[in-house]
Structure 1
Amino acid sequence: MKKYILLFCAAVILGACNKNDNMLQFDEAQSYIYFAYPNANTRSVEKYADSVYYGFALDADLQRKEKTIAIPIGIGGRAIAKDRSYTYVLEDSSKYDQTTVKFSAPMISASQYVDTLFITFQRTAKMKAEPTVLYLRLEQNEAFAPGNLYNQKIRIVVDDILNEPAWWNTWKNYFGPYQKEVFQQWMQIYHLGADPSPDLTTGAPGPIYYWNNMPTSAIASWYPVTFNYIQVLKQYFIDHQVYPGDDSTKERILLP
């Protein structure tokens, strides 16, 4: 019986060795590189995001003409006392205008384990109908090899599209038919932190409600602070002549 047990253990060890032969081996003398953009989803098993989105139409500064997105670049292995360049490619599936997108130099500074790739996007009329999309992929060069498999690629999407939010229909009696200009002004007024109310259902402390997390019911007695801000919004359009698409031939915007 003892003989069979020893043979079984030997087989298990041999199998484990064979599996190790198939595992990705890292060279301790090599430096590895990966995209290290923080993942906003804290429940995700992945620490870093593989996709980044920015919308000009959602920016607090409605007049912003350009936006710079900072993409952290992390390294594994050794940091050395000199600057090192890394290599990335823009995949063919990217959709962008080379004259309106600018990239900083792909460089890891001396003695650093994290550096930043800055990508600047100019706001264009085309973004109102079609997003700018970049697919970046890290490649090996003399200084770095691609590291973390999940973060060797990253997608960056930038647009100027302001779609009707899912909650609008619930609040339509107070906001009226969807108008981009009304939504943009509501974002300015009912930002996160403006309403200190706790969650009506769970009692979780505020701030909870804001333009991107509206109460699920349009009932004034339940959400008095929200309704106070709606009055502020209504007064804004009384005091300011605002037209859909800035077209004064159309009827000015007023709330119900």
Structure 2
Amino acid sequence: MSRIIFFVVIILACMSQACEKDPTFEFKGDDRIYFVFPKYMYGLGVEGHELDSVVFSMVGEPASVLQDTCWMKVKRVGERTEIDKRYVVTVVKDSSTAVEGIDFETLKPEYVFRKNVGIDSFPVIVNREHLKTVLSKKIMFALQETEDFKLGFVEYSRIKLVVTDFLQEPEWWYTVSGWLGAYHYMKYEKWIELTGSMDKSSSQSYRQYYCLQIKDYFNNNVIIDPITNERVTCDL
């Protein structure tokens, strides 16, 4: 009999834990807000480590596309409410290379965090015109306290957005750097052209086969980077 009672207690305890809400929304007190940082995505949608910035690329967009919108996510700590709330985002100018009102449209004085949601977003409208002369530009955003929200986690109160019209270095570049040397967007473009893929292969012989072709192309031809006007080679 005592054994049966013991099992019932365990089952009830498990049911109690299974019914618990997301601890984020058990928070009582002032509503707080913070940025949501992206995570590296492996194959099949498996999440990896947290990245230190958001990268927004216009690579592949038709030349006629002169603007595009990046949606930056924010998350609240506290109970979801039945009313909309306001939050404020500003640009940290001394930590940004993109200019507000030129490289991207001026931010609004405040944004609405919609009722009954735990995560919302605000738009950053990027102008493409000046992205052709530099590899990338960065914007540092900072959340500000308002009557509706205090700051959540301090380390998540700022976030960097990198905007570019060039291919960024993939995390797997180290697997080919022994043949191709330091990353350069033109080398990556050649990799995509030859392999038909933006990803690496798990086969070392496959990587070596294409890397040797890329190395031969850059080292036996004079290929000039149109931005820096310097020759691109695969010398180590």
Task: Give the TM-score normalised by structure 1.
Answer: 0.54
Are the counterparts in 2 of residues 30 and 78 from structure 1 also a CA contact under 8 Å? no
Correspondence for 2:84: 83
Are the counterparts in 2 of residues 28 and 77 from structure 1 also a CA contact under 8 Å? yes
Greater relative contact order (Cα < 8 A, sep 6+): 2
Is 1:66 matched with 2:67?
A: yes
Q: Which of 133, 142, 150 is the aligned partner of 1:137?
A: 142
Structure 1 unaligned segments of length 5 or more: list them: 1-25, 172-177, 202-213, 231-243, 246-256
- Mark the CA change 1:185 to 1:115 in structure 2 (over 3 Å): closer, same or farther: same
Correspondence for 2:164: 159
Query: What is the CA distance between 1:116 and its match in structure 2?
Result: 0.7
Structure 2 unaligned segments of length 5 or more: list them: 1-25, 42-46, 215-224, 227-236
- Mark the CA change 1:217 to 1:54 in structure 2 (over 3 Å): closer, same or farther: same
- 1:72-117 C-alpha deviation (Å, 9 max, x unpaired): 1110102211111102221132222313312465210122211111
Identity %: 16
Is 1:217 matched with 2:208?
A: yes
- Mark the CA change 1:200 to 1:53 in structure 2 (over 3 Å): closer, same or farther: same
- Mark the CA change 1:126 to 1:199 in structure 2 (over 3 Å): closer, same or farther: closer
Tell me the secondary structure at the aligned position of residue 125 of structure 1.
helix
- Mark the CA change 1:123 to 1:32 in structure 2 (over 3 Å): closer, same or farther: same
- Describe how 1:48-197 pairs up with structure 2 within 5 A: 49-56=51-58, 59-61=59-61, 63=63, 64-93=65-94, 94-97=96-99, 98-102=101-105, 103=107, 106-125=111-130, 127-129=132-134, 131-161=136-166, 167=176, 170=179, 180=186, 184=189, 187=192, 190-192=196-198
Are the counterparts in 1 of residues 55 and 161 from structure 2 also a CA contact under 8 Å? yes
- Mark the CA change 1:74 to 1:162 in structure 2 (over 3 Å): closer, same or farther: closer
Are the counterparts in 2 of residues 131 and 160 from structure 1 also a CA contact under 8 Å? yes
Higher strand share: 2
Tell me the secondary structure at the aligned position of residue 192 of structure 2.
helix
Is 1:35 matched with 2:35?
A: yes
Q: Give the number of equivalent residue pairs.
A: 176
Compute the RMSD of aligned alpha carbons. Answer: 4.1
The code of the aligned residue for 1:119 comes to V
- Mark the CA change 1:101 to 1:27 in structure 2 (over 3 Å): closer, same or farther: same
Cα distance in 2 between the residues matched to 1:127 and 1:179: 13
Task: Give the TM-score normalised by structure 2.
Answer: 0.57
Correspondence for 2:15: none
- Mark the CA change 1:147 to 1:50 in structure 2 (over 3 Å): closer, same or farther: farther
